[in-house]
Amino acid sequence: MSMSGSLPLIIHDLQDSQLFALAQAAGRAGIPVEGTCQPEEPWIRSSRYVRKAVTMPCLNEVTSSIYALNLRNAGLSGVWLPCTDDMAAFTARYRALLEKLGMRFLIADSDTVYRSQDFEQLPAVPGLGKPFGGMFTVADTYARLPEFDYPLLVKTQRSAYQRIDSAADFEAYLDANQGREYADMGIEIQSYIPGEVNRMASAIMLLDGDSRVVRGFTGRRLRVEPTKFGPFGETTAARAEWIPELYEGASELLTSLGWQGFAEVECKQDSDGRWQLMEVNPRLSGWSCLAEADGAGLLAAYHRICADGAKLEEACLQRSQAEYVRVIATCYHDPDWAATTVADDSGIKRLRRLFSALRREMKHPDTVSLGAWDRRDLRASLQLLRHTIRRLWALWRGRKTL
């Protein structure tokens, strides 16, 4: 059913391939899409799904107040969809301004997000273990170095974790990053749970303004893009999988916190097969296009609640059939086939996986998500593919990588 006459879904940073994939998913669901971009890339101008894009700086390039001023001058109004951690924090902080601009949205407030990061204070829920983890000041981290249970994961930058194996290693890491000069700065720490990537899974949940779960989805990671800090990077391949204990645990945890809007509850199975909480993110997952391809209906439900004030009942609509492989990318993201040398056998294996995914998408387009590749949005997808190939060519010439 077309929603062309309804409020648009406003998505920021449309030049980013992951957010552009969400715009395409919304468009396929009949939801009109508008948004911001920096700059307005050819795939945005060519897309059949984006009816308006306003060029303005990214939030990570300017202060929050300057971003708010730019957004006010952009003339956008509709259903606002914060898709990253920093944008979720911005939305919570500038709630009143955004509402004045005509934005409608659901978002967890800053206190709720803060409580979700303090694992020591989180309520115990069935089905989810609660290992050590949370946000600490650098000063408190220095003081507690001897009592931490190593190894640990420390968040070094957006989407990148580094493994720390001892108190001495942690102190050296802090000192190397001028930790003693930034004693009040926050640092995110997680217990390291050993095991392969495919032991990791997420529950992507949508809660309404009364903190009731209305939609949800569970999926398992298959591969991640390694970073310079280790194999702890972004998801490049995943599959839809119904994991009831993860869904129920995430539902109970978020409801107890009084959550509103989207959340991604990241977990990993320990050696006994029990799910252990890793992180609660106040947003959609970067691979939420998989949930949409699998029929979860997260975006449509969010739009109906925000635009029409609909009162929805809880429903998990996933079919557990879809697969996700990221084959084209922008910004700092990498596709599933970009990070190994030509001489490495795994480089050939990645190419084979790529072509296998493309063949499956040709035969079963409704059960395979290739991220921002969409044959129904062919002109835009080809523009984005051209950009990705240029990136890979530059990598090959500079570092001899595939």
> And the tokens for 92?
């919570």
Rounded to an integer, the average pLDDT of 32-47 is: 95
Residue 38 scores a pLDDT above 60:
yes
Let me know how many helices (H) and strands (E) the chain has, helices first.
13, 17
CATH of the domain at 101: 3.40.50
Of 34-43, 89-98, 279-288, 385-394, minimum mean pLDDT range: 385-394
- 28, part of any domain: yes
Please, what sign has the CA dihedral across residues 44, 48, 54, 58? negative
- 122, part of any domain: no
Q: How many domains does the chain have?
A: 2
pLDDT per position as a tens digit, 266-277: 999 999 999 999
Q: How far is 151 from 166, CA to CA, in rounded Å?
A: 7
Q: Across the chain, what does the average pLDDT equal?
A: 90
- 29, part of any domain: yes
Q: How far is 263 from 52, CA to CA, in rounded Å?
A: 27
Q: How far is 106 from 340, CA to CA, in rounded Å?
A: 40
Higher pLDDT, 351 or 382: 382
Q: Is residue 168 classed as helix, strand or coil in its secondary structure?
A: helix
* Contact predicate 26/299, CB 8 Å: yes
Q: Which residues pair with 189 in a beta bridge?
A: 134, 154
Residue 402 scores a pLDDT above 80:
no
Q: How far is 119 from 99, CA to CA, in rounded Å?
A: 32
Give Cβ neighbours of residue 5 (< 8 Å, ≥ 6 apart).
none
**What does the pLDDT read at residue 306?**
97
Q: Are both 88 and 161 inside the same structural domain?
A: no
* Contact predicate 267/246, CB 8 Å: yes
**What does the pLDDT read at residue 25?**
96
**What does the pLDDT read at residue 4?**
41
Q: Are both 103 and 162 inside the same structural domain?
A: no
Residue 398 scores a pLDDT above 70:
no
pLDDT per position as a tens digit, 76-119: 999 999 999 999 999 999 999 999 999 999 999 999 999 998 88
User: E strand or H helix at 218, and its extent?
Assistant: strand 213-224
Higher pLDDT, 141 or 351: 141
Residue 12 scores a pLDDT above 70:
yes
Q: How many CB atoms lie within 10 A of CB 131?
A: 15
Q: Are both 17 and 103 inside the same structural domain?
A: yes
Q: What percent of the chain has pLDDT over 70?
A: 93
Backbone phi and psi for residue 187, each to the nearest 5 degrees, phi listed first: -135, 135
pLDDT per position as a tens digit, 156-167: 776 678 999 999
Q: Are both 57 and 13 inside the same structural domain?
A: yes
**What does the pLDDT read at residue 3?**
46
Q: How far is 87 from 26, CA to CA, in rounded Å?
A: 19
Rounded to an integer, the average pLDDT of 383-390 is: 89
> And the tokens for 222?
């298959």
**What does the pLDDT read at residue 5?**
52
Higher pLDDT, 60 or 214: 214
Q: Are both 79 and 161 inside the same structural domain?
A: no
Rounded to an integer, the average pLDDT of 347-358 is: 71
Which range of residues forms the domain containing residue 98? 9-108
User: E strand or H helix at 248, and its extent?
Assistant: helix 244-257
**What does the pLDDT read at residue 153?**
92
Residue 37 scores a pLDDT above 60:
yes
Closest listed residue to residue 240, CA positions, set 298, 323, 358, 363 = 323
Q: Are both 32 and 87 inside the same structural domain?
A: yes
Of 208-222, 228-242, 316-330, minimum mean pLDDT range: 228-242
Rounded to an integer, the average pLDDT of 11-40 is: 96
**What does the pLDDT read at residue 359?**
80
- 239, part of any domain: no
Residue 347 scores a pLDDT above 80:
no
Rounded to an integer, the average pLDDT of 357-376 is: 83
Please, what sign has the CA dihedral across residues 384, 390, 396, 399? negative
- The full length of the chain comes to 402
Q: Are both 59 and 138 inside the same structural domain?
A: no
Q: Are both 95 and 142 inside the same structural domain?
A: no
Residue 203: pLDDT band with limits 50, 70, 90: very high
CATH of the domain at 169: 3.30.1490
